Every structure is written in C-alpha cells, then in structure tokens.
Amino acid sequence: MTWLEELAEVARDLREEWALTPDGEPTNGRTALVHPVRTADGRPTVLKVVRPHWEAEHEALALQTWGGRGVVRLLRADPRRFAILLERLHTEDLSGLWDVQACEIVGGFYRRLHVPAPPQLRTLSDQAARWERELGEKERRLPVPPRMVEQARSIARDFAKDGATDGRLIHTDLHFENVLRGDREEWLVIDPKPLSGDPHYEVAPMLWNRFDEYAGRIRDGVRMRFFALVDTAELDEDRARAWAVLRLVVNVKGELEDNPTPDKDWITAMISVAKAVQD
C-alpha cells in the first residue's frame, strides 16, 4: 500500500467517525491528502490527513494557539493520526498579486502570528545547531561558493547560541501559496510547520518562491520583496538577512540529500537569491 492509499484509508475512517460527507474530489501534495467535506449540519470544511513527519507533528497545536486569528480555523484534530478538520477557504492565493503587494500582506501576518510559542514545540536553536554541524562535515561538498558555506555555518553557530532564536511561534513556510482568500478575513494563512523560533526566520520563503518573476532583475526584485517584508513587520534588517542566507544554503544541502538527480536550476536559484539579498 502506498502512503497515499494509507492516508485515504485514514480519511475514510475519520469521515465515518466524525460524520463527514464528501463534497468534492480529494487532492494531494507531497505529504498530505486534502478532502472537501461537509459536517453533519452541512458546514463546508476540509479534512486534511498528513503523512507522519516531524514538521507536521504540531500543526494542530499551532492552529489552536492562533485561534483563527489570521489563520484558517481549526475545528477538530486527531494528532495521533496527523489529521485535522478545517474551515474551508477559497482556492485563490497570493500568486495572482504583484509580488511586493503580497509581501506587504505577509509582513502584516508576521506581526499577528508571532505570539509566545507553546512549550511543546521543537526549537529553532536546535535546528541551527544541527545545521552548523552538518555544514561543517568535511565529506560534504556543496555546489556553493566555499565562502558562502562558511558564512552560513557561522550564522548557524551564532544563532544556535542566541537567546532570541527561540520563544515565538513561527510558521516557517509562509509563502504566496500558503495564504488563501477567506470569508471571515480577506486572506488567511494555512499549512504551518511550526517551531519555537525567531520571527526573522520567516522572510526567506517569500524570496525564493516565484523566482521566475525576477526575470533578469534578481537583485532589485529580491531587495524590493525583502524590504517590503522587513519594513511592514518592523523586523531587524541584518538579522532577517542572515537567516535568509542560512536557509538558502540549507536548501541546497536539502536538494542534494533528497533527490538522486538534484535540480541544478533550483540550486542556481538559491545561490542567486543568497547573493542578491546581500548586495
């Protein structure tokens, strides 16, 4: 049985247990099955079942903590089966907006979402310490300028020891497609991969997504997005920049580790954004 078939089986069980009626065709991403359903009283909702992995282990906790303020509302959860029932949103996301306008919207969400983190969450400082070790392994050779790898390693080392690296609830994957149009609010955030961390960590995904739209003006495009995010959220420019560089180098490491045939264009894009954010 494939992982998708396993999730479909879990979804069938939950529909029966929670008295849910299918209301459309299910869709899936790389790790989740999402099924439009209706509750017993006819309310349109979405049943999401995730393939168990650590990034998703506290999604329900994060949504519960936010309580629907700026985010999709959690209606029910079964953490043991990595399943949640959510209010249904529209399919429109921020991809259709001018990228700088979208950055201003996301920057506004940062200020609302970065509340004190629940104690159950994994910490960003632990993640930074792990990255520092992994980037320093002598057998690891990344297709990244050595100076940039050492810079990223130094950033990780410093942040791993920094008291401000932990403590706030951060989404960690907030980008254009993870903000959907809603009814309660014009836009609502979805799909957190929460950590106890530093708000400045959030900026990078908005820089590397919709990369093709930079269209030969990558330096100016990255800077416009970066400052729209930082200024709207009133973040520290240097700290946000440092986290972005580290995350971009780590993305290259992840591409090499996760794919037998790494995407060279993706790797080039990560290096280009890392250079541009520092120019």
- Residues annotated as catalytic are 173
d(CA 152, CA 164): 18
Rounded Cα–Cα distance for residues 143 and 118 (Å): 37
Task: Give the DSSP letter of residue 178.
Answer: G
Please tell me the distance from the alpha carbon of residue 279 to that of residue 276, in angstroms, as a whole number.
5
| Tokens standing for residue 209 | 């997504």
Residue with tokens 């950033």: 155
3-state secondary structure at position 72: coil
The answer to whether the beta carbons of residues 148 and 245 sit under 8 Å apart is: yes
